[in-house]
Amino acid sequence: AARQAGDIPDALLLLEHPPVYTKGRRTEKADLPMGDDWYRAQGIEVVDTSRGGRVTYHGPGQLVGYPIMRIGDVIAYVRTLERAVIAALAEEGIHATVREGLTGIWTNDRKIGSIGVHVSRGVTMHGLAVNVDCDLQPFEWIVPCGIDG
């Protein structure tokens, strides 16, 4: 609300979450085939969010960024986030790309970065996640971002 009112400048929050599955607005029941209680028994919280997309995992070893900023064009903003992650990975010697028709960042045919945003009154919420050095097992227990395999 403070950013929407212009009371604070744009900000970027960078953090690492404890294990959690976040459900985007388009998440389907089949995206979490074991059921929420099973995931919680594994020590992974399951949380509904207002962001776009479907379910994804956040946890230790993953860099999560939440830009809070005023934007105009949502699609252009998402593509800018993709390019920024690709550029940052390139600086670390990692070649990454986008895939036609999908949102996110891939390297060696594996998804390394996800983007899920929500815009309210022109201000962004939610953001991006990049797998840096995380346990990938929790991704195998779901249909991440609605993408099988």
Locate the domains of the chain by residue range.
11-146
Residue 21: alpha-carbon gap to chain centroid: 10
pLDDT band at 79 (very low <50, low <70, confident <90, very high): very high
pLDDT at 90 over 60: yes
Active site residues: 145
> 119 pairs with which residues across the strands?
124
Span 11-60, pLDDT tens digits: 999 999 999 999 988 999 999 999 999 999 999 999 998 887 889 899 99
| Amino acid (one-letter) located at 107 | T
pLDDT of residue 80: 96
What is d(CA 89, CA 15) in angstroms, rounded to the nearest whole number? 17
Q: Which helix (H) or strand (E) holds 12?
A: strand 11-15
pLDDT of residue 113: 95
Span 95-121, pLDDT tens digits: 999 999 889 999 988 999 999 888 999
User: Which class in CATH covers the domain with range 11-146?
Assistant: alpha beta
How much of the chain, in percent, has pLDDT values that exceed 70? 99
As a whole number, mean pLDDT of residues 54-75 equals 94
